[in-house]
Chains A and B, each alone.
Chain A
Amino acid sequence: MSTAVANRPMSPEEKKVIFASSLGTVFEWYDFYLYGTLAVIIGNQFFSALDPASRTIFSLLAFAAGFIVRPFGALVFGRLGDMIGRKYTFLVTILIMGLSTFIVGLLPNYSSIGVAAPIILIALRMLQGLALGGEYGGAATYVAEHAPRNKRGAYTSWIQTTATLGLFLSLIVILGVRTTVGEAAFADWGWRIPFLVSILLLGVSVYIRLSMNESPAFTKMKAEGKTSKAPLSESFGQWKNLKIVILALVGLTAGQAVVWYTGQFYALFFLTGALKVDGATANILVACSLVIATPFFVIFGALSDKIGRKPIIMAGCLLAILTYFPVFSALTKAANPDLAAAQAKNQVVVTADPKECSFQFNPTGTSKFTSSCDIAKQVLSASSVSYDNVVGAPGTPATIKIGQAAIPSYSAAGLSADDLKKKDAEFKKAVADDLKAAGYPAKADPAKMDKVMIVIILTYLVILVTMVYGPIAAMLVEMFPTRIRYTSMSLPYHIGNGWFGGLLPATALAIVAQTGNMYNGLWYPIVIAAVTLVVGTLFIKETKDVDIYAND
């Protein structure tokens, strides 16, 4: 490529390509946050009247929409994208996603049409999951195939900024509507408006995407009759390519996913759940850090065109491995110094029969942990108490020792709802009283909070996210040939982010409850990032100079 081409500014056509592709992923994120933010209201509208067994089934189905349907969507739409073209495939994905979101806004609730309401809602979630599986790979492939060779990192990095834009858009729409119509009306019918608004986004996206041209690489390949007839078997049935798919998953997307989830979601959960910072303050602090760090997606994307994708992604993983523990410890001192002091001063001991203690891994939210050990650990974890585990006599109920006296826990098995409520209240009060006496704060004190330091720490965590996430779309695109690119890159992305990233909160929570240390949940992202660092460093080749048309 000549220097003139290399250094020319972005053409209007290229800007349009990036804008059209990014708008779809903004949509993806908008939808992602709508469901997260409105979960309680949706639950009340569609699921709260169901019996417990039905709720369990719906929980599993909803879980499947995220964990199984999205990778399946990557296969379905990846295959279509490699066979009939990028443009039409990701036009279909955005149509499915947008219409599904819009229909949720119109869907009658449980009190109107009974069990059909949650069934249709889950079906719509499945459709969205399917479409989501095809959306990102299409957007990344489409942009990369339009980008000059030495600017693929910079161009595709714009897609990565859409996570923040989607979040902010959802906040503006949801909070704008809620403030306008009032809390009660919002819970009753106002929640539908953000879903209905998605039709506007859809209209704009479809209009722009219809006016776009097919990717030049795919057009050329199609004209020459070289498109794949069976992308799935070519991608995953031939070891030569399957090996690269596995490497992309283990050596790139798994680590990227855990660093991303830790920086953007676990940090927020840690602030509110572990450090007891009130939700509104924590949200603002996280939003500030996102505003500051989001430009780094483009900075690292562009930098990856110069120094390579691999060094930046691997450096992000390495920094995460080395700094998560000290950084989260510093976050505790900045956000809740009283808690840090109480943890340092007191020794809390849980004495329990090991047979009573479960590994409380509950990603679907359907398991119940009812033994005295599990209940004791849940209560301590919820209070951010670090504790030691001591083996108790077989058959005896677990106890918690904070000061001098041991507080006996209880088993919830066989108790009536009223007895359970009473026992629970008594036990929690006893623990709370002893914790208070030991100096554990019930909430973070706003007067003692170092908000500037919290924002600096959160910004650092999000900058690590931008290091691993900014260059990754370009790298994934460059790892596979045009004929199977859409299929091959979509699957590791969705398995990496859906499985390794999606399981982070549940796994971290279970590790914390199991080990009794609120920082130990960080071992999960650290171990996964370490595996990615080793595999990626040893086995994945730098791709920035790859000619993505070489094997077409």
Chain B
Amino acid sequence: MWKIVIGFLVFAAVALFVLSKGGDIDMSGEKHGVEAGPAAASPAGSASVPAPAK
């Protein structure tokens, strides 16, 4: 069990490290790519939706 705990902590530490260095990234869940583009940026367009189906 202790190997799993250490493995998880190391893995999490690496993830937190790259996250702290890597700047902004979208962690809000699955999207499909279609919603990201010029048409979706229309001012009167739909309200943006963070995380659809899993």
B29-40 Cβ-contact flags toward A at 8 Å (1 or 0): 111111111111
Cβ proximity bits A32-58 to B, threshold 8 Å, 1 near / 0 not: 110111111011101110001001001
Contact with B along A243-277 (1 / 0, CB 8 A): 00000000000000000010011101100110000
B14 CB to nearest A CB, Å: 6
Chain A 10-47 residues near chain B, CB threshold 8 A: 32-33, 35-40, 42-44, 46-47
B44 touches A125 (CB 8 A): no
Main secondary structure of the interface of A (DSSP, over half): helix
Distance A280 CA – B52 CA, assembled complex (angstroms): 21
Binding-face segment, A143-151, A164-172, A533-541: A164-172
Q: Are B15 and A412 in contact (CB under 8 A)?
A: no
| A421 contacts across to B, CB distance below 8 A | 43
| B29 in contact with A506 (CB, 8 Å) | no
Partner of A43, one of B15, B25, B34, B43: B34
Digitize A494-535: 1 where CB-to-B-CB distance is under 8 Å, 0 elsewhere.
Answer: 000111011111100110010000000000000000000000
- Give the chain B neighbours of A272 by CB distance below 8 A: 28
The total number of A-B Cβ pairs within 8 Å is 207
Partner of B27, one of A37, A295, A502: A37
Interface residues of B in 40-54 (CB under 8 A from A): 40, 42-54
1/0 per residue, CB under 8 A from B, across A162-182: the answer is 001101110110111011000
Q: How far is the CA of A273 from the CA of B40 in the complex (A)?
A: 17
A452–chain B nearest beta-carbon distance, Å: 16
Binds B, one of A210-218, A286-294, A326-334: A286-294
Q: Which residues of A contact B8 (CB under 8 A)?
A: 165, 294-295
Of B9, B26, B29, B39, chain A has the most CB atoms within 10 Å of the CB of: B29
Q: What chain B residues lie within 8 Å of A165 (beta carbons)? A: 8, 11
- Is there an interface contact between A283 and B24, defined as CB atoms closer than 8 Å? yes
Residues of A within 8 A of B20 (CB): 284
Q: Is the beta-carbon distance between B22 and A178 smaller than 8 angstroms?
A: yes
- Interface residue A362 (Cβ < 8 Å from any Cβ of B): yes
Chain B residue at minimal CB-CB distance from A32? B30
User: Which residues on A sit within 8 Å (CB–CB) of B47?
Assistant: 360, 362, 369, 378, 381-382, 509-510, 513
- A59 lies within 8 A of chain B by Cβ: yes
Whether the pair A288, B49 counts as a contact (CB closer than 8 A) is no
- CB pair B54–A502 under 8 Å, yes or no, is yes
Please determine whether A43 and B27 come into contact, CB atoms closer than 8 angstroms. no
B54 and A498 form a contact (CB under 8 A): yes
Q: Which of A65-73, A233-241, A345-353 has 4 or more CB atoms under 8 Å from chain B?
A: A65-73
Number of interface residues of A (CB under 8 A): 87
Q: Which residues of A contact B53 (CB under 8 A)?
A: 63, 66-67, 70, 497-499, 501-503
User: Does the CB pair A52–B52 fall under 8 Å?
Assistant: no
Given that A66-B30, A168-B11, A179-B22 are known contacts, is A284 also in contact with B16, CB under 8 Å in the complex? yes
**Complexed CA–CA distance, A269 and B48 (Å):** 11
- Shortest C-beta distance, A453 to chain B (Å), equals 19
Most buried by B among A171, A367, A424: A171
Q: How far is the CB of A293 from chain B (nearest CB, A)?
A: 11
Does any Cβ of B come within 8 Å of A368's Cβ? yes
Known A294-B8, A501-B54; judge A58-B44 contact (CB<8 A). Answer: no
A278 within 8 A of B: yes
With beta carbons under 8 angstroms apart, the residue of A37, A44, A294, A509 that contacts B37 is: A44
Q: How far, in Å, is B42 (CB) from chain A's closest CB?
A: 7
B-contact bits for A357-375, CB 8 A (1 contact / 0 none): 0001011011111100001
CB of B53 to closest CB in A, whole Å: 3
Given A52-B39, A420-B43, A121 and B27 touching (CB < 8 A)? no
As a 0/1 sequence over residues 5 to 22 of chain B, the CB contacts with chain A under 8 angstroms (1 = contact) are 100110110111011111
Most buried by A among B23, B31, B38, B54: B54
* Chain B residues whose C-beta falls within 8 Å of the C-beta of A62 in the assembled complex: 32-34
CB-based contact B43/A37 at 8 Å: no
Query: A362 to B46, Cβ gap below 8 A?
Result: yes
B11 engages A363 (CB within 8 Å): no
**Which single member of B16, B28, B36, B44 contacts A287 (CB below 8 Å)?**
B16
Q: How far is the CB of B2 from chain A (nearest CB, A)?
A: 13
Give 22 CB contacts A-B under 8 Å: A36-B26, A37-B26, A39-B33, A46-B33, A48-B37, A52-B39, A121-B33, A168-B15, A171-B25, A172-B14, A175-B21, A268-B27, A273-B50, A279-B24, A280-B19, A287-B16, A291-B9, A365-B40, A369-B47, A421-B43, A502-B51, A513-B47
Q: Give me the 6 closest cross-chain CB pairs, A-B, nearest first.
A: A502-B53, A66-B53, A43-B36, A62-B32, A175-B22, A42-B33
Q: Beyond A40-B33, A47-B33, A66-B30: 9 further Cβ-contacts under 8 Å? A: A39-B33, A63-B52, A179-B22, A283-B27, A284-B20, A365-B40, A420-B44, A505-B50, A506-B52
